[in-house]
């Protein structure tokens, strides 16, 4: 028997058993079952799944998929495409540059999970499986068949660890658990690399446009889900299908294309995001959109401190509060102790400048610390800021911030006669207050992205990365570690202060409770750090995607009540277990978590 090591798990595998799947069906039967099952899942969505419209989405209509059926249709279609690509169908091989088998397994699993979740939800809410129509039974059966067929495809099985006769019960359980995890990871994530065919420049630009359109569609659909069951199904489908596209190598291929056309990608993403308010009929979801942008912008600023410079800052949300309080005090609020009403551009610059000053004042005496000590000090700064503004109420201290009441009645912005508090008609589309602020915050996000990109590509950015990787070695090479870290701290603080200036006008009121380390509603320091780590440290797209997910998911999971944070925490644990480098990782960081993977000839500076 010969053994080798999987590239994905690093565990030894039994090479002789690499021709069998988890399910004991022949490979050709399993492949056909997965492909045909995916196609039949698409057909089943055009049938009625229940007889009554009492279940949300009205799944009683024949010939017109609705609600959760649409998600099953997409999953089934993608499973079928991957299955056909595995047969070598011309024109589909481009979708699976890294192989189709792992992608088939993930897509079939996502389709199966969404379908069975829907069937169980119908039975639970309506009082039993008797409420299912034939379409529901067919969908459940064909997705189960596709799932079993997908896991009949071959993979490299991990070899059993040697058994120690003296091992304890706990050690035995640990050994069995490690083998199960290695078995599942090998079955799904074993790579099958294939050479990529380079496209003409115009075709690559079309790919970027298509990727932006898909991203806008997915985000708009997710943020606009009308009921709880649909959002849960959306999370299941998107999670598995994104993993399938990543496993197929399509995400990496698109990332490489966007890397070659970074300027076009950045402005394309900006235009796609700017179209979002025009897809909404009212301000209901534009409200969530503007808060996501505020959260994402602050997370991107924190990414300079944590992702590039490697400084663990647990009190970063305090800089957002400094900017918000500064802008609130000089924007004409009747609660402000200062009789000032500065124009927005000046109040925003003032908020950024004051936050930067605080960053220097806090960083100068603390940045000589490293690791956990620095984290504890920054956590203390965040609490000091909150307690200070809480006590400046005229009783415990000077009357500046109105204590727990905060600064309220902050007027709407008026820039060159454009009142952000009123509805406006643009190109025949009526956009409301939050849509106005969404477009403004999008412009500020673009500025922050440009600052991040230019900084990371500069000499100082390379110094940050050197400090992050090995501070001792960087100091030996002549880098002034303290100065470099202080610049990162000050720049990150100023970007947070800039976002805080907009937040103050969007929320009308700033209070100390908004700037705790761990607060129920983001942004807070814990969620900001999680957004950076979850999305991908050191990248541009990572914190933006991470912040969007971390804001959107809790907002949509409120129906879980007391179990909301539990479900959210379980999702984070699973994601960090199976993708510790983040959703959109920096290539260097990805290699750190997958050292057995072959290093590329050239590493990008900032990743995607």
Give the torsion sign (CA, 386, 389, 393, 395): positive
Instruction: Name the helix (H) or strand (E) containing 415.
Output: strand 414-415
**DSSP character string of 572-586:** HHHHHHH-TT-SS--
- What pLDDT digit, counting tens, does each position of 505-540 carry? 888 888 888 887 766 556 677 788 888 888 888 788
Round to whole Å and give the CA distance between 390 and 64.
56
Beta bridge partners of 425: 430
What average pLDDT does the segment 438-451 reach?
88
pLDDT at 602 over 50: no
Alpha helices by DSSP H, 159-249: 169-189, 201-223, 228-247
pLDDT at 595 over 60: no
Report domain extents, the chain: 8-161+168-193, 301-408+446-555
* pLDDT mean across residues, the chain: 81
Round to whole Å and give the CA distance between 366 and 486.
10
**DSSP character string of 323-346:** HHHHHHHTBT-TT-SS--B--HHH
pLDDT at 196: 52
Round to whole Å and give the CA distance between 112 and 132.
17
Write the Ramachandran bin of 350: left for phi over 0, alpha for psi from -120 to 50, otherwise beta: alpha
pLDDT at 108: 94
Round to whole Å and give the CA distance between 527 and 337.
32
pLDDT at 116: 95
CA 369 centroid distance within chain: 31
pLDDT at 454 over 80: yes
**DSSP character string of 116-169:** HHHHHHHHHHHTSGGGB-HHHHHHHHHHHHHHHHHTTS---EEPPPPPPTT--H
Phi, psi of 318 (to 5 degrees): -65, -35
pLDDT at 188: 57
What average pLDDT does the segment 563-571 reach?
74
pLDDT at 187 over 60: no
What average pLDDT does the segment 267-272 reach?
84
Choose the weakest-confidence range: 424-428, 459-463, 501-505.
Answer: 424-428
What average pLDDT does the segment 373-387 reach?
86
What average pLDDT does the segment 11-28 reach?
61
- What pLDDT digit, counting tens, does each position of 397-412 carry? 787 888 888 888 888 8
Give the torsion sign (CA, 564, 570, 573, 576): negative
DSSP helix/strand/coil, 431: strand
Give the torsion sign (CA, 85, 86, 89, 93): positive
Round to whole Å and give the CA distance between 316 and 499.
13
pLDDT at 139: 95
pLDDT at 70: 94
- More confident call, 65 vs 593: 65
Owner of token pair 């659909």: 221
Choose the weakest-confidence range: 89-93, 127-131, 497-501.
Answer: 89-93
Round to whole Å and give the CA distance between 391 and 31.
67
What average pLDDT does the segment 493-509 reach?
89
Q: Would you place residue 195 in the very low, low, confident or very high pLDDT band (cuts 50, 70, 90)? A: very low
Owner of token pair 């969908």: 139
pLDDT at 18 over 60: no
What average pLDDT does the segment 109-134 reach?
92
What average pLDDT does the segment 484-511 reach?
89
pLDDT at 13: 44
Q: Would you place residue 596 in the very low, low, confident or very high pLDDT band (cuts 50, 70, 90)? A: very low
- What pLDDT digit, counting tens, does each position of 220-235 carry? 888 888 888 898 899 8
């Amino acid at each position: 028997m010969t053994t080798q090591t999987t590239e994905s798990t690093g565990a030894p595998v039994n090479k002789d058993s690499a021709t069998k799947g988890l399910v004991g069906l022949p490979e050709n039967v399993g492949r056909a079952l997965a492909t045909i099952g995916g196609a039949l899942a698409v057909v089943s969505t055009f049938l009625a799944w229940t007889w009554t419209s009492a279940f949300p989405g009205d799944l009683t209509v024949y010939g017109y998929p609705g609600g959760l059926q649409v998600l099953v249709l997409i999953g089934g279609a993608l499973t079928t495409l991957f299955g056909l690509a595995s047969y070598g169908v011309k024109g589909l091989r481009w979708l699976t540059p890294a192989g189709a088998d792992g992608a088939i397994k993930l897509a079939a699993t996502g389709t199966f999970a969404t379908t069975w979740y829907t069937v169980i939800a119908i039975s639970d809410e309506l009082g039993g499986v008797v409420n299912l129509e034939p379409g529901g039974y067919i969908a459940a059966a064909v997705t189960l068949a596709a799932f079993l067929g997908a896991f009949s495809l071959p993979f490299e099985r991990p070899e059993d660890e040697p058994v120690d006769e003296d091992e304890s019960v706990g050690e035995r359980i640990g050994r069995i658990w490690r083998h199960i995890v290695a078995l599942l990871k090998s079955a799904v994530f074993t790579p099958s690399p294939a050479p990529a065919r380079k496209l003409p420049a115009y075709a690559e630009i079309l790919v970027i446009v298509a990727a932006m359109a898909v991203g806008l569609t997915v985000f708009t659909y997710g943020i606009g889900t009308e009921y709880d069951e649909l959002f849960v199904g959306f999370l299941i489908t998107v999670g598995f299908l994104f993993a399938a596209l990543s496993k197929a190598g399509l995400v990496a291929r698109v990332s490489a294309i966007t890397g070659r056309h970074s300027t076009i990608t950045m402005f394309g993403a900006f235009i796609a995001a700017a179209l979002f308010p025009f897809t909404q009929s009212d301000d209901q979801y534009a409200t969530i959109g503007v808060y996501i942008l505020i959260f994402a912008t602050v997370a991107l600023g924190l990414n300079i401190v944590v992702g590039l410079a490697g400084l663990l800052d647990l009190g970063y949300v305090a800089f957002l509060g400094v900017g918000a309080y500064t802008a609130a005090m000089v924007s004409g609020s009747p609660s402000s102790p200062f009789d000032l009403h500065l124009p927005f551009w000046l109040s925003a610059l003032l908020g950024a400048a004051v936050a930067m000053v605080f960053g220097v004042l806090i960083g100068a005496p603390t940045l000589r610390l490293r690791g956990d000590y620095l984290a504890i000090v920054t956590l203390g700064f965040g609490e000091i800021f909150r307690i200070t503004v809480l006590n400046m109420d005229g009783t415990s201290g000077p009357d500046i911030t109105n204590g727990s009441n905060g600064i309220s009645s902050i007027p709407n912005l008026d820039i060159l006669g454009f009142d952000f508090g009123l509805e406006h008609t643009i190109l025949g589309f009526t956009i409301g207050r939050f849509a106005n602020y969404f477009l403004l915050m999008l412009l500020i996000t673009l500025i922050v992205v440009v600052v991040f990109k230019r900084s990371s590509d500069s000499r100082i950015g390379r110094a940050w990365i050197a400090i992050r990787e090995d501070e001792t070695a960087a100091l030996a090479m002549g880098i002034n570690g303290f100065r470099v870290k202080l610049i990162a701290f000050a720049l990150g603080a100023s970007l947070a202060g800039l976002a805080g200036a907009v937040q103050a006008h969007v929320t009308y009121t700033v209070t100390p409770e908004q700037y705790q380390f761990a607060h129920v509603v983001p942004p807070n320091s814990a969620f900001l750090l999680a957004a950076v780590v979850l999305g991908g440290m050191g990248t541009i797209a990572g914190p933006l995607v991470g912040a969007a997910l971390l804001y959107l998911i809790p907002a949509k999971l409120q129906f879980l009540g007391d179990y909301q944070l539990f479900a959210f925490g379980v999702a984070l644990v699973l994601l960090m277990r199976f993708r510790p480098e983040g959703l959109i990782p920096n290539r260097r960081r990805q290699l750190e978590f997958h050292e057995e993977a072959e290093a590329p000839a050239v590493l990008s500076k900032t990743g995607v």
